[in-house]
Amino acid sequence: MKKPHLLYVVDDSPDYRMLVEVVFRRFLPDYELRFFESGNELKHHALRTAERPGLILLDRHMPGQDGAQVLQLLKQHPTWQIVPVVMVSNNASQEEKEECYRLGANSFLQKPIGFEPLKDLLTSTCYYWLYLNQQASYSPLSPAQ
């Protein structure tokens, strides 16, 4: 059995997290998800784990540590910088999108409205990052290949 593909979803909206969970449970069961309600929660987890997901979907706008700050932190961290971070937002300005690219976001997605568009977006995004894209490896606990 192949290990499931792990991805993180960071978003302060409970409705959005629930919708994402339903999409994955019904249509993308091969992926393992970990949800975070805030940038702070992700930050605390990130600094304490050796686990590295294949992809992080990070909301641009959140109260407290917002997406751009968390992105910057991840991209400056020696072993988190290799994890692809895709920023997600429904109302980011052009400047905010540019800023995310400058800070090292691997790409920027417009949050879709409605279940079907969300399903399509998550399907193509996960396919791209977790199948087509080659992941850098960080596995301090397992022996080198």
Site string for another protein, 73-92 (x = CB under 8 A): --------xx-x-x------
For residues 128 and 123, what is the distance between their CA atoms, to the nearest angstrom?
9
Q: Which is nearer to another protein, 4 or 104 (CB)?
A: 104
Segment 115 to 144, residues that bind another protein, using CB under 8 A? 121, 124-125, 127-129, 132-138, 144
Q: Which is nearer to another protein, 101 or 115 (CB)?
A: 101
Handedness of CA 85, 10, 47, 52 (dihedral sign): negative
Beta-carbon contacts of 14 under 8 Å, excluding residues fewer than 6 positions away, are 37
Q: Would you state the structure tokens that stand for residue 46, as one six-digit string?
A: 């990130």
Distance in Å, CB of 27 to another protein, minimum: 16
In angstroms, what CA-CA distances link 57 with 60, 70, 132, 141? Answer: 10, 12, 17, 25
For residues 84 and 56, what is the distance between their CA atoms, to the nearest angstrom?
6
Q: Which is nearer to another protein, 31 or 38 (CB)?
A: 31
Sites of contact with another protein (CB under 8 A): 81-82, 84, 86, 94, 97-98, 101-102, 104, 106-110, 121, 124-125, 127-129, 132-138, 144-145
